Amino acid sequence: MKPSRTLQSLTTSVFSQMSLKKKEKLKQGQDMVDLSIGSPDLPPPTFVKDCLSEEVQKDGEYGYPLTGTDEFKEAVSAFYGRRYHVDVSEREVLQLMGSQEGLSHLAFAYLDPEDVVIVPDPGYPIYAASVQIAGAEVYTVPLLEENDFLPKLEDIPEEICQRAKMIVLNYPGNPIPALPTATFFESLIDFARKHDILIVHDFAYSELIFDQVEPLSILSIPGAEDVAIEFNSLSKSFNMAGCRIGYLVGHTSLIEPLAVLKSHIDYGVFYPIQKAATLALTKGDTFLEEHRHTYQTRRDMFMDALKQAGWHVQKPQGGMFVWGRIPAGWTSLDFALEALEYGVVVTPGQAFGAQGEGYVRMALVHDVDRLEEAAQRLKKMLEDHNSVRT
């Protein structure tokens, strides 16, 4: 029995290859500093864990939730007003089983086979994969360092603009931890209005923005409510990745197609998780400030250590990743495979699209001591490489 042709078209070879190599090294007893996966290493706030612990003991919490509770939607509404200066009503909030679940199903809610979705390259793999699974067409727009990793909308062919139904973007991003400007978002909204395209903004790293820069929700830009929706999550902001809860925010008419689809395929998020998430959104502002400081400290230390190693990498403005241009003489896969030999796991940039070649992604998901160890191992690798070349 063969799987579908659609499934066969999805590529996971780079991720699979790196995972197998890592397992081999671990079996050999080698200590590995794994910077390849953006899974938070820190726990949620104590009050969130306490809430979960208390709620799971209640016998009445184990039925089908079906939809998000009113309390959760009210908490999201207040959170968006407080943190991002966006006025969102409870009717404009759709609860998700994590933002990736929503992103993956959005394609089925909106796309027909003749449609095109504009996705970033490099970009998080689910953006393109969801479109392929839905049977529609992907058009990639390059995110280049010389353009501050913002797409040049004017370079998208008119024929693509006429067929495109959605454009997906992610700031601060994965794998590229860049930030947008209000001016760019304004031009994006004009572009979407002109071509009748839905803007899908993945805002999952909204609470990991550094150097006192305010997070910028696209929905805070005038006119966005007519053409844009925004995904968010508690995975990275509150370290609740395993709890699988997130949400979509936007005009009721724009989020309704996904709500209809979800009514056919899932039964909602476990009530104790909803209650813990509601508490996090309501009372977690102090935690978020401390959390951001932790990641900024990690970023600064890691950047300094890489610089001392002779590898000058652009400092990320937000998110939990470092997007590093690799030194000359390597492909991104070769660099990642060599790093494995020195006990560091990184993700080759080509895993995120053709424009990712020449970069690697490194996640700041360890304490400063382990990140320092990773930097020292990479320094040794680069020194050994340079000595061989000379």
Helix, strand, coil shares of the chain, percent, nearest 5, are 50, 15, 35
Q: Give the residue-averaged pLDDT of 166-193.
A: 97
> Count of alpha carbons within 13 Å of 169, Cβ hemisphere only?
26
User: Mapping DSSP to helix (H, G, I), strand (E, B) and coil, where does residue 353 land?
Assistant: coil
**What pLDDT score was predicted for residue 34?**
95
In this structure, is residue 54 part of a structural domain? no
Predicted local distance difference test score (pLDDT) of residue 136: 97
Q: What is the pairing mode between strands 116-121 and 321-325?
A: unpaired
Final residue before a domain boundary, out of 284, 299, 331: 284
Query: pLDDT tens, 291-313?
Result: 999 999 999 999 999 999 889 99
How confident is the model at residue 176, as a pLDDT? 95
- Provide the domain count of the chain: 2
Domain co-membership, 99 together with 244: yes
Handedness of CA 267, 271, 274, 278 (dihedral sign): positive
Dig out the tokens for 183 from the structure.
């001016």
DSSP annotation of 62 = -
Percent of the chain with pLDDT over 70: 98
> Binning pLDDT at 50, 70 and 90, where does residue 56 land?
very high
From 263, 284, 305, give the residue that closes a domain. 284
Helix (H) or strand (E) segment spanning residue 247: strand 246-250
Whether residue 127 is found in the same domain as residue 239:
yes
**Average pLDDT score over residue span 105-133:** 96
**375 located within any domain:** yes
Q: Which CATH number belongs to the domain containing residue 327 in this structure?
A: 3.90.1150.10
Residue 293, domain member (yes or no): yes
Domain boundary among 238, 261, 284: 284
- How high does pLDDT run on average in the chain? 95
Q: Which tens digit of pLDDT belongs to each residue from 248-286?
A: 999 999 999 999 999 999 999 999 999 999 999 999 999
| Burial environment of residue 22 by CB neighbours within 10 A (0 to 12, 13 to 18, 19 or more) | middle
Tell me the pLDDT tens digit for each residue of 35-49. Answer: 998 999 999 999 999
231 and 314 part of one domain = no
Helices 99-110 and 252-265 pack at an angle, to 10 degrees, of 100
Residue 390 in this model has a pLDDT that exceeds 60: no
Residue 358 pLDDT level (bands cut at 50, 70, 90): very high
Q: Looking at the chain, how many residues does it have? A: 390
Angle 363-142-150 from CA coordinates, rounded to 5°: 75
Where in the sequence is the domain holding 271, given as residue range(s)? 62-284
User: Given a cut of 80, is residue 389 above it in pLDDT?
Assistant: no
Residue 55 in any domain: the answer is: no
The answer to whether the predicted template modeling score (pTM) of the entire model surpasses 0.85 is yes
On whether both 321 and 244 belong to a single domain, the answer is no
Q: Are residues 343 and 232 in the same domain?
A: no
pLDDT per position as a tens digit, 319-349: 999 999 999 889 999 999 999 999 999 999 9
Establish if 343 belongs to a structural domain.
Answer: yes
